[in-house]
């Protein structure tokens, strides 16, 4: 009797599996491709142009056409510093001596380097070299002939000059926003556009004042 029961169970299990949906177990491991799994379908990555394969491929493609292109061009900081004679301008303005007068010398810079590393500033600069070289550096280097004398004068006065500058920048931004000033012929709010420059200048000036004040202590 027992063998008969085992036979019935085996037959029932086999019949049930015959009516189960096909491919249920294999469906979880099936991968989808743009070719829909068809052997005769083409590989789109292999057949598409290089300029459509992502940013890295596009930059290499542009370099093949013209090495001196705007996409991969880097701002030559050293050449522009030499052409503008910024080292001599720095010496003439007495910038280094005024920095030492405010308590910032090479020894103090060495002490600040570990702090900059802890704050992640060095890593941030290393990970954004392209942005720093092609955006920040041109603004600083090209404007240095005008900024260095102003900076030297502010260092002569001390932290109060930087706090005054921060208040002035913030005041201009407030007046533009409060009076709803618009850019002529464009109609855009002047406060929003000028804020792209005034807000960073306010933060930088206030930060410089705080930093110089702490160095003197």
What pLDDT, in 10s, does the model give residues 176-208? Answer: 999 988 888 888 888 888 998 899 999 999 999
Q: Is the pLDDT of residue 53 over 50?
A: yes
Helices (H), the chain: 2-18, 44-47, 55-65, 77-83, 86-93, 95-101, 106-118, 121-127, 129-131, 137-157, 159-178, 190-216
212, with CB counted inside 10 A (0-12, 13-18, 19+), is: buried
- Helix, strand, or coil (residue 182): strand
Average pLDDT over residues 168-176: 93
What's the rounded Cα separation, in Å, for the pair 204 and 168? 13
Work out the pLDDT band at 3, boundaries 50, 70, 90.
very low
* Partner residues linked to 182 by β-bridges: 189
CB 155 within 8 A of CB 97: no
What's the rounded Cα separation, in Å, for the pair 17 and 15? 6
* Partner residues linked to 189 by β-bridges: 182
> Rounded to an integer, what is the distance from CA 1 to the centroid of its chain?
80
pLDDT of residue 217: 58
Q: What is the mean pLDDT of the chain?
A: 77
**Closest C-alpha among 205, 83, 206 to residue 142:** 83
CB 134 within 8 A of CB 192: no
Higher per-residue pLDDT: 81 or 33? 81
Higher per-residue pLDDT: 129 or 87? 87
pLDDT of residue 16: 46
């Amino acid at each position: 009797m027992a063998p008969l029961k085992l036979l019935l169970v085996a037959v029932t299990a086999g019949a049930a599996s015959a009516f189960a949906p096909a491919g249920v177990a294999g469906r979880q491991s099936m991968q989808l491709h743009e070719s829909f799994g068809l052997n005769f379908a083409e590989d789109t990555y292999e057949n598409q142009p290089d300029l459509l394969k992502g940013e890295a491929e596009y930059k290499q493609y542009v370099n093949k056409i013209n090495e001196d292109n705007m996409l991969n061009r880097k701002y030559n900081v050293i050449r522009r510093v030499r052409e503008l004679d910024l080292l001599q301008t720095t010496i003439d303005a007495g910038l280094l001596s005024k920095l030492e007068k405010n308590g910032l010398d090479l020894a103090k810079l060495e002490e600040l380097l570990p702090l900059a590393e802890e704050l992640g500033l060095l890593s941030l600069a290393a990970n954004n070299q392209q942005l720093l070289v092609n955006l920040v550096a041109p603004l600083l280097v090209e404007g240095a002939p005008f900024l260095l004398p102003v900076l030297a004068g502010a260092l002569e006065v001390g932290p109060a000059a930087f706090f005054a500058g921060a208040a002035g920048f913030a005041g201009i931004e407030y007046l533009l926003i409060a009076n709803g000033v618009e850019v002529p012929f464009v109609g855009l709010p002047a406060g929003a556009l000028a804020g792209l420059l005034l807000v960073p200048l306010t933060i930088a000036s206030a930060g410089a004042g705080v930093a110089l004040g702490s160095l003197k202590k």
